[in-house]
Amino acid sequence: MNDQRAAVPSCHADVVAVDAPPGTPVVALVGNPNVGKSTLFNRLTGSGRDVGNWPGTTVAVGRALWTDEDLGQAVLLDLPGAVSLDPQSPDEELTRDLVSRPDPRDRPDLVVVVASAVHLARGLYLLRQVLEAEVPCLLAVTMGDVASRRGITVDADELAAAAGVPVVVVDPRRGAGARDLVRAVALSLQPGPAGLCGVDGCTCPRGDCSCDHDPLAGPVAAAGTDDEALARAEERFAWVAGATAVSVHRRHDARDTWSDRLDRVTTAPVVGPLVFLAVMWVVFQLTTTVAAPLQEWLDALVSGPVSAAATRLLDAVGLGGTWVQGLVVDGLIAGVGMLLTFVPLMAVMFALLSLLEDSGYLARAAVVTDRSMRAIGLPGRAFLPLVVGFGCNVPAISGTRVLPDARQRLLTVLLVPFTSCTARLTVYVLVATTFFGDRAGTVVFAMYVVSILFVIVVGRLLRSTLLRRMPDDPLVLDLPPYQLPMLRLVAAGSWRRLRGFLRTASGIIVVTVIVVWALSATPAPGSSGTFGQVPVQDSVYAATAGAVAPVFDPAGFGSWESTSALMVGFVAKEAIISSWAQTFATAEPQAADTPGSLGDALQISFTESSGGYPIPAVLAFLVFLLAYTPCVATLAAQRREVGLRWTLTGVGIQLVIAWTVAVVVFQVGRLIA
């Protein structure tokens, strides 16, 4: 654990990351999961946040330069939700490491512990641990409205006196109390009596404590023997019980709340899974069918009027028909167009994620699906991104953020590409219709079964190899009370996530599309064309495909036409059919289930490349198509979530598995045939 501590840059390294002047104070929000911490972060910093992985980790941390008239400037960090500073996941470990670094200068200047009034005791346990680490802190109490409906009130003055820290009651969803919190933060950051040490109620000035505290007696040393750790935990519970006894008042015993009545349905043995499936169906429908017309419209707009206008403009300035036109229309505009078509899909996905999270339903879905997901070593929450992956892998990978543990997120991010997205479906339909006629439907269905098998088998394989340290604890989950989602918050949250996606993905997608264009516009050595004026089969792109093709000989589809289609499929699976049409110089089919002359050309090509065994070769091709890298946008989303190293590892895993299984399918199929 100390190694981890050394590898993770300190909080103050973030001053540079958010472009703040050196010496800007760092304020960190720390709290249990589902207490409104991130909503408070957004409330305080407006739209200027950046969510990204903490350097050296795959743990997501929100960061923003917080500017306010009462405060001046500070860097505000939204640290991962933590039940306590005794970490049980990489997320909690990062929070613990940043708060309790050995050198006080590396710690945040102030920690705001965010605690829910509904279960104040848990927040106070965390507060106590932060105090033990001798970090200046104050307490923000949220969810007072939910607590009030349950007959619970928190006396902030009594609590402040008992805990020895300033206490502010704040409603992050509506903003009430936010100004008080800013002032309390500003006061705590000032040197002098307002900033108190706080350990065990100590009132020494912060940073100048003359009492006999041992900062290492806190969470850092708690990693000693288990008995010592449990004994310290008992001490903390006693402290928490003392603080809540004087500050939390109950009007009545709220046993059967409407949240409980809803839970009796949503988590029930038979009805719960049915409700969950209905919710998943709605999510799947909305991310595919609702977004699809918008995607098609944007695609038609870019490839039609926008491209035509650009062509006319280039004609007007005398660049029509030159390579510049190819670069602008087929490279730049096509790349931006591809990025734009993802916008409706991602917007719908992010809005649904926010709705499910904010309402509290996601925690119930985790309970309902927990048992079945344990088969691949993932918690129930992983079901959501995997289901969405069958629509589109890109939002599914962003959807892995619902998982609280970084290792579980990583495994899910690596598994999502094996879920068969709808872009692959169009190719299945064309190929299956061409080669299997009436049995095409069965073949397409089989591809989905194979996709599920891939997820299960690869999941188990990764768990027993690269990700052996994954936790496998049985379900122990706190269920937050249901809340009505606030549309304004959902919209703001979705926009922030969408902007983050576009910022990360745009470069990769546009650059890859331009590179593919450039390769297909460059004449291969020995061919007669010039740059931008060469048939695709005479280009460097075709030459590259020809050079790679022998790799696929053992799988029965080692022709340059199939390889070239797979290379284009690396950019986007939708492009495979148009690539084939271009390669075979046939008209692109009007619909995937009416392949026409392209179908004939495919029959000939696969028969030739497989040495007379087209059916096993086509099955091998379909399996390869299913299992290898879905598209460049998926890679962009993966890079955003788990970094470049794991993204490339994932690509390697996909290619090795896709090739191996394709070869097995062809060789076995050939023997049977």
Partner 1 sequence: MTLDQAPVGAVATIGPIDAAPAMLRRLAELGVRTGEAVTPLHATAGGGRLLAVGDTRVALARDVLRRIEVVAP
Q: Which residues form the interface with partner 1 (CB under 8 A)?
A: 83-84, 86, 88, 118-119, 121-122, 125, 147, 150, 152, 226, 229-230, 233, 237, 254-255, 259-260, 263-264, 267-270, 272-273, 367-372, 473-479, 481
Burial of 502 (0-12, 13-18, 19+ CB in 10 A): middle
Task: For residue 29, report the phi and psi dihedrals to the nearest 5 degrees.
Answer: -90, 125
Q: DSSP H helical segments within 90-225, as ranges? A: 90-99, 120-132, 144-149, 156-163, 178-189
Contact 446, 618 (CB under 8 A): no
**Angstrom distance (rounded) from CA 40 to CA 174:** 10
**By C-beta, is 478 or 588 nearer to partner 1?**
478
**By C-beta, is 84 or 634 nearer to partner 1?**
84
Instruction: State in angstroms the smallest separation of the CB of 410 from partner 1.
Output: 21
509: nearest Cα among 389, 620, 635: 635
**By C-beta, is 181 or 248 nearer to partner 1?**
248
Instruction: State in angstroms the smallest separation of the CB of 478 from partner 1.
Output: 6
Task: Output DSSP code: residue 288.
Answer: I
Classify the C-alpha dihedral 293-299-303-305 as positive or negative: positive
**By C-beta, is 142 or 369 nearer to partner 1?**
369
Distances (CA, A) of 508 to 229, 332, 649: 47, 12, 17
Q: Give the CA diameter of the chain.
A: 88
How would you classify the pairing of strands 26-31 and 110-116? parallel
**Angstrom distance (rounded) from CA 471 to CA 92:** 13
Instruction: State in angstroms the smallest separation of the CB of 50 from partner 1.
Output: 30
- 263: Cβ contacts below 8 Å, ≥ 6 apart: 364, 479
**By C-beta, is 229 or 319 nearer to partner 1?**
229
H/E segment holding residue 142: strand 137-142
357: nearest Cα among 315, 314, 398, 324: 398
Instruction: State in angstroms the smallest separation of the CB of 42 from partner 1.
Output: 25
Instruction: State in angstroms the smallest separation of the CB of 275 from partner 1.
Output: 10
Instruction: State in angstroms the smallest separation of the CB of 41 from partner 1.
Output: 23
Instruction: State in angstroms the smallest separation of the CB of 243 from partner 1.
Output: 14
**By C-beta, is 248 or 566 nearer to partner 1?**
248
Distances (CA, A) of 276 to 103, 268, 296, 389, 473: 47, 11, 30, 17, 23
Instruction: State in angstroms the smallest separation of the CB of 162 from partner 1.
Output: 18
645: nearest Cα among 454, 463, 413, 451: 413
659: nearest Cα among 544, 540, 548, 545: 548
Instruction: State in angstroms the smallest separation of the CB of 165 from partner 1.
Output: 20
How would you classify the pairing of strands 49-53 and 60-68? antiparallel
559: nearest Cα among 537, 533, 592: 537
**Angstrom distance (rounded) from CA 87 to CA 94:** 8
Instruction: State in angstroms the smallest separation of the CB of 130 from partner 1.
Output: 14
**Angstrom distance (rounded) from CA 625 to CA 623:** 5
6: nearest Cα among 88, 97, 95, 93: 97
Angle at alpha carbon of residue 343, lines to 42 and 404, rounded to 5°: 45
**Angstrom distance (rounded) from CA 357 to CA 308:** 43
Instruction: State in angstroms the smallest separation of the CB of 622 from partner 1.
Output: 35
**Angstrom distance (rounded) from CA 126 to CA 267:** 29
Instruction: State in angstroms the smallest separation of the CB of 469 from partner 1.
Output: 14
**By C-beta, is 105 or 255 nearer to partner 1?**
255
Helix or strand or coil: residue 161? Answer: helix
Instruction: State in angstroms the smallest separation of the CB of 364 from partner 1.
Output: 8
Instruction: State in angstroms the smallest separation of the CB of 199 from partner 1.
Output: 20
Q: Which two tokens stand for residue 258?
A: 């409407």
